């Protein structure tokens, strides 16, 4: 689960990670109220959407830049009016963009140097890893690719936690000295505590900055959480912003369906994540483009199949549907009955190819054949994929 | 004849009185698996009954293991309690804990994995379909079925299957059985980022098992476990190996932001993994329908008989 920058910074402050002073507004009337909380002087205006690349983004009304530096609070207030309520398109949002519903004003800090700092899971070692670099404020992939010697990684033993010698190692590698070193060490320790205590999946600070007076601050904050652990963090669940999520994905989650929208035109409905992923792959292999990832789970009940069809048909790009069910334990005839009922209930007009395999498959196929529906049966995944690709071509 | 488990393996079911655990305990009993104990704290002394089977329930894994001699446990415990259930198996000194539970917090698994270092217990999963060593009876019954896989699709034979995904494992096994090619053992290692046994661990076991003549390795995008396994295969394994990687069309960065890509490296895309497979002499299945055929191609090239 992702949260906004202003929410992430509130968590940082709670754990003693310094951030520039800031305030949010969700209405034009709220701008001055928020700005009243900040001192007069240079101010940043930051559009709050979950996607990155905001600074270089463009609004659909033509206004450029979702993050702006302003010399005065009055200028900041005028600038915010260009952003609030408008749709920001960035490299990460896709062409549809995201509507900006919250503006975050912060004090514009004087920057001495920018750094990069992130904490996440290292899958190879099954341990948390701190990734840091002296090259902040730029794309970190570029640093990893071009100057990997400027990227430092520290693996943390979960039995002990972040050790002091590891913090020192990082401080030396990043070149901090004096009061900066002391402040940076404290920030790193507190940030790790925030990561561990909140069940974060990833924390990224880009840039982390030093100021001429020796302060070390998190200038930006990107935080995501392990969705498996949300049950023990109601305070984090409360930060969820449904405006930032695909409405079809929200609907799918209500029926325990795992759905991810893609931009192709062949929808698929599959049981099991691995099979769902490879169903998308095989559609592409035979020249089609998948419209979605949809895993109905092990059961594939009638209600789930109906809900899945409705969600799929909500995507206007869809020109055909491929159902691929491997009924291992589940009776294929029960699944077939569910598919027939669902197709009748939603009044499906699009080409439909169904590939059923597994337990009691003969009865399942007979049910599909006797339904009077204009569906096509596929024998193997390859056969089914080729048929649906041909039908939508 | 198999890896990790045999038809004689005695197993414990943790969470046997729950819907999910109970249903699959019954299917395992029907398959002929030696389900000798259940564990549900507070229900010790009761019995889990199914047909002529009467399986004793214990309050703890240690009690169950001591009373029955079971060395393997399968975990159907809900996510908040699953990490604890795994540690209980470690403490009881079991050989193998198979965690079926989906949705265990990553932090719990990070701690469990650290706590298991140096212990004798092997963990399979979590979020996995389990493990099956097919038997010689009708529809492969008489074997050892641990977890949630459909038993009847298997057939006893000489191919080892290892995968992160449940339904893709079934797909591969079904293809093999349809071609009259049996399996030694089929292992689901689970789809979570932090899991116990990985691809390479299982490949090493298959390589050392004289009854396993060929291997199907099924992977996904993310992490570099498949790459690690492929490199080992190139250096150490002469048996025919077929590989498939799911997720060529998955949108990039959907699960994790870009810092993940740094740590994972460039080797965790489907295209990169497939390239490494080819470089390591693994016959790549072009589509998921091609998994059994890919293994047959590799076996033919190496002059190995799979049946």
Element (H, E) at B38: strand B34-39
Interface of B with A in 29-48 (CB under 8 A): none
Model confidence at B264: pLDDT above 60: no
Please give the Cα distance from B146 to B74 (Å, whole number): 7
Inter-chain Cβ pairs, chain A and chain B, closer than 8 A = 179
- Count Cβ neighbours within 10 Å for each residue of B81-97 and write b for 16 or more, e otherwise: bbbebbbbbbebebebb
Contacts of A126 in chain B (CB under 8 A): 109-110, 113-114, 194
Q: What is the nearest CA distance from B95 to chain A, expressed in angstroms?
A: 21
Q: What is the nearest CA distance from A13 to chain B, expressed in angstroms?
A: 22
- Pair B56, B38: CB distance under 8 Å: yes
Q: What residue has token string 């033993």?
A: A157
Q: What is the nearest CA distance from A35 to chain B, expressed in angstroms?
A: 31
B158 is catalytic: no
Of B128, B143, B124, B229, whose CA–CA distance to B182 is shortest? B143
Q: Which of A271, A278, A285 to mutate to test the interface with B (most CBs of B within 10 A)?
A: A278
Provide the pLDDT for residue A15.
98
pLDDT in tens, B202-228: 999 999 999 999 999 999 888 888 999
Provide the pLDDT for residue A66.
96
pLDDT in tens, A7-34: 999 999 999 999 999 999 999 999 999 9
- pTM as predicted: 0.93
| Chain centre to alpha carbon of residue A127 | 22
Provide the pLDDT for residue B46.
98
Provide the pLDDT for residue B265.
54
Token pair of A62 as six digits = 């033509």
Interface of B with A in 244-303 (CB under 8 A): 244, 246-251, 254, 256-264, 270, 286-290
At B292, give phi and psi (nearest 5°): -65, -40
- Pair A344, A374: CB distance under 8 Å: no
Please give the Cα distance from B33 to B12 (Å, whole number): 11
Provide the pLDDT for residue B257.
33
**Alpha helices, DSSP H only, in chain B?**
19-31, 61-68, 79-91, 106-116, 166-178, 199-208, 225-236, 258-264, 270-279, 291-302
B148 touches chain A (CB under 8 A): yes
Please give the Cα distance from B31 to B3 (Å, whole number): 18
Asked if B259's CB is within 8 angstroms of A281's CB, the reply is no
Query: What stretches in chain A show pLDDT beneath 50?
Result: none
Model confidence at B173: pLDDT above 80: yes
Provide the pLDDT for residue A305.
85
Residue in chain B closest to A157 (alpha carbons) equals B114
Asked if B109's CB is within 8 angstroms of A126's CB, the reply is yes
SS3 B211: coil
């Amino acid at each position: 689960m992702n949260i906004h920058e202003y929410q992430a910074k509130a968590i940082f402050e709670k754990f003693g990670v310094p951030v520039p002073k800031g305030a949010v507004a969700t209405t034009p009337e709220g701008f001055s109220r928020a700005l009243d909380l900040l001192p007069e002087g240079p101010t940043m205006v930051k559009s709050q959407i979950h996607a990155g690349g905001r600074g270089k983004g463009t609004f659909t009304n033509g206004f450029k830049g979702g993050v702006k530096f302003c010399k005065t609070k009055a200028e900041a207030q005028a600038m915010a009016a260009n952003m609030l309520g408008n749709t920001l398109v960035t490299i990460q949002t896709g062409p549809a963009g995201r509507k900006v519903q919250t503006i975050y004003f912060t004090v514009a800090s004087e920057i001495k140097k920018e750094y990069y700092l992130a904490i996440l899971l290292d899958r190879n070692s099954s341990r948390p890893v701190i990734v840091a670099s002296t090259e902040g404020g730029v794309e970190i992939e570029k640093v990893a690719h071009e100057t990997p010697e400027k990227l430092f990684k520290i693996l943390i033993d979960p039995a002990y936690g972040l050790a002091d010698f590891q913090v020192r190692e990082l401080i030396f590698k990043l070149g901090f000295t004096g009061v900066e070193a002391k402040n940076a060490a404290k920030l790193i320790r507190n940030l790790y505590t925030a990561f561990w205590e909140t069940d974060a999946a990833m924390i990224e600070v880009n840039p982390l900055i030093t100021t001429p007076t020796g302060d070390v601050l998190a200038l930006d904050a990107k935080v995501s959480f392990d969705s498996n652990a949300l049950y023990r963090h109601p305070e984090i669940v409360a930060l969820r912003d449904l405006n930032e999520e695909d409405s079809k994905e929200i609907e799918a989650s209500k029926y325990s369906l795992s759905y991810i929208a893609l931009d192709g035109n062949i929808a698929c409905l599959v049981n099991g994540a691995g099979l769902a992923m490879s169903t998308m792959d095989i559609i592409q292999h035979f020249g089609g483009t998948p419209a979605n990832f949809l895993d109905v789970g092990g059961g594939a009940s009638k209600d789930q199949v109906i809900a899945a069809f409705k969600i799929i048909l909500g995507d206007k790009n869809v020109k055909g549907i491929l159902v691929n069910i491997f009924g291992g334990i589940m009776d294929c005839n029960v699944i077939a009955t569910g598919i027939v009922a669902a197709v009748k209930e939603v009044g499906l007009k699009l080409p439909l190819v169904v590939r059923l395999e597994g337990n009691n498959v003969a009865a399942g196929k007979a049910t599909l054949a006797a339904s009077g529906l204009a569906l096509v049966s596929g024998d193997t995944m390859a056969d089914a994929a080729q048929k649906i690709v041909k039908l939508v071509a | 004849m198999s890896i990790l488990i045999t038809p004689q393996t005695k197993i414990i079911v943790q969470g046997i009185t729950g819907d999910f655990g109970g249903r699959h305990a019954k299917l395992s009993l029907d398959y002929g698996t030696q389900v000798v104990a259940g564990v549900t704290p507070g229900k010790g002394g009761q019995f889990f009954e199914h047909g002529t089977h009467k399986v004793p329930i214990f309050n703890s894994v240690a009690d169950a293991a001591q009373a029955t001699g079971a060395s393997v446990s399968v975990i159907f415990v809900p996510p908040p309690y699953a990490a604890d259930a795994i540690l209980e198996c470690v403490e009881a000194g079991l050989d193998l804990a198979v965690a079926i539970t989906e949705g265990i917090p990553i932090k719990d698994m990070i701690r469990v994995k650290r706590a298991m270092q140096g212990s004798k217990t092997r963990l399979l999963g979590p979020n996995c379909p389990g493990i099956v060593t097919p038997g010689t009876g009708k529809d492969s019954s008489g074997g050892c079925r641990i977890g949630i896989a459909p038993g009847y699709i298997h057939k006893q034979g000489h191919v080892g299957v290892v995968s992160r995904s449940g339904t893709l494992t079934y797909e591969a096994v079904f293809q093999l059985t349809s071609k009259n090619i049996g399996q030694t053992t089929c292992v689901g290692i689970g789809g979570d980022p932090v899991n116990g046994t990985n691809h390479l661990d299982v490949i090493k076991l298959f390589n050392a098992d004289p009854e396993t003549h060929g291997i199907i390795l099924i992977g996904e995008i993310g992490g570099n476990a498949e790459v690690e396994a492929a490199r080992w295969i190139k250096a150490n394994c002469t048996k025919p190996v077929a590989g498939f990687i799911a997720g060529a069309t998955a949108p990039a960065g959907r699960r994790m932001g870009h810092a993940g890509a740094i740590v994972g490296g460039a080797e965790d895309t489907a295209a990169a993994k497939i390239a490494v497979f080819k470089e390591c002499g693994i016959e790549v299945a072009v589509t998921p329908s091609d998994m059994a055929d890919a293994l047959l191609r590799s076996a033919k090239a190496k002059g190995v008989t799979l049946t």
